Amino acid sequence: RQRTLRATIEWSSELLDDDEQELFACLAVFTGGCRRDDLAAVCGADTLRLAGLVEKSMVRRRLDPGGVDRYWMLETIREFAVERLAGLPGAGDLRRRHAYRFLEVAATTWALFVAGSASQSEFERLATDEGNLRSALEELRDAGDADALGRLCAALFFDWYFRGNPAEGADWARTALRS
């Protein structure tokens, strides 16, 4: 059954043109999906290629809590795309761009919070992108980028605290300090 499902996904992916196949693999870097602006920042994706993947049911679209389009893959499709991502030249650079993008998202939310102008939708965005933020933490740790890891921890600490996860924040902060 699993082989049949995999064969179906592989067959479907082979129907994609080269640009769509590249974007399909690129989308695997996102854990839990992403917004169009995240996709453009990390993958340089254009709307036409993304629409093609949605039309071909390789990618799904829904509104996030802030009312913004969010693109995601079913997990079985994403697992296949992760394999394709590993084969892309520059996959490591792609993962680093992803990490820095979500450092930027967290830092922007932190700055708005400090200024007293953060809205509920900014906090909801961090919750929605929890998987991407964790992937960013892991990538920065694995890359040995202690400075960026520390900045991401600092930007997320208020979120960990308010959502009841200060121990996780403390663990990541210790990891950053040890790097």
Cross-strand bridge partners of residue 112: none
- Which single residue is written with the structure tokens 């605290």? 161
C-beta contacts of 175-178 below 8 A and 24+ residues apart? 175/141, 175/149, 176/141, 176/146, 176/149, 176/150, 177/146, 177/150
pLDDT of residue 119: 86
User: What torsion, rounded to 10 degrees, do the Cα atoms 131, 126, 140, 22 define?
Assistant: 60
The per-residue pLDDT for 43 is: 93
Tokens standing for residue 48: 């036409």
- 178 CB-near residues (< 8 Å, 6+ apart): none
CA dihedral 17, 19, 25, 27 (to 10 degrees): -120
pTM of the model: 0.91
Q: What is the pLDDT of residue 1?
A: 60
pLDDT at residue 13 in the model:
81
Per-residue pLDDT in tens (0 to 9) along the chain, 179 residues: 667 877 888 888 888 888 899 999 999 999 999 999 999 999 998 888 899 999 999 999 999 888 899 999 999 999 999 999 999 889 999 999 999 999 999 999 999 999 999 888 888 999 999 999 999 999 999 999 999 999 999 999 999 998 888 999 999 999 999 98
Q: Report the DSSP pairing between strands 60-63 and 69-72.
A: antiparallel
- Contacts of residue 113, Cβ cutoff 8 Å, sequence gap at least 6: 122, 158
